[in-house]
Every structure is written in C-alpha cells, then in structure tokens.
Amino acid sequence: MEDTLQLQVLDLEVPVLTGIYSEETHLPQPLRISVRVDLDCPARFDPDTPLTASKNYMDLKHAAMTALPQGVHFTLVEAVAEHICDTLFIQDARVRRVRVDIVKIAIAEGNESIGISLTRHRK
C-alpha cells in the first residue's frame, strides 16, 4: 500500500451563484466548502524537509474561493465541486484524490448540514 499525505481546508464560507429555483438564481448563496487532497508522499518528513515535499494549504483555499469563476451560475453544487477538483488536479501532478464537501447554508434549519460530497481520483 502506498503512503499518502492528506491536506485539508475545512469550513470555508464562499458566496456562489448556484441553484435551480428562481429565488436562488440571481444572488450568490453562501456555501460551506471543505476540501481534502491526497498527495504522493515522500518516504519521510525530517525537520528540514522543504515545503516542496508537500503542498501549500493556500492552494486548496484558492481552488475553493478565488478560482471559482465570477459571474458564472452553477446549476448544481456538484458542478462547483467538480470545478474545485479540476483546479487542484491541474495545479499539481502529485494530487491523487480530491474530496470536496459542500453544505448549502441557506437551506439549513438548526444545526443540520445539507449538501454533497464529491470524490475524484486522478485518471
């Protein structure tokens, strides 16, 4: 079994144009997005291991926030997750798997989380 390193950025609140109902299609909705990325892993991480042996967490944050195209309406939140996966696979050849969890904050009542998880593997 191969070793992997998982990086994660959890619970980012991102306004995204998404939805199918008329009340959803003209204003951005708040989504809570979490991203987990499995990377190829070096044999060890010694105290002096350089950052290039891993990946910058901010790349994950960028994929979930600023890399989403402005003004584009995503009918499904699944398409938002797909765009995030694509961005991370393009960024770094060491990315083996991406999992994106999206919670639609605006439709939750109480402490529930309503949303999707999408996992893609590098092909």
CATH number for the domain that contains residue 103 = 3.30.1130.10
pLDDT confidence of residue 14: 97
pLDDT confidence of residue 108: 83
Question: SS3 string of 32-80?
Answer: EEEEEEEEECCCCCCCCCCHHHCCCHHHHHHHHCCCCCCCCCECCHHHH
**Which positions of the chain have pLDDT values less than 70?**
22-24
Give the total number of structural domains in the chain: 1
pLDDT confidence of residue 36: 98
pTM above 0.85, yes or no: yes
Domain extent, residue 56, equals 4-44+51-121
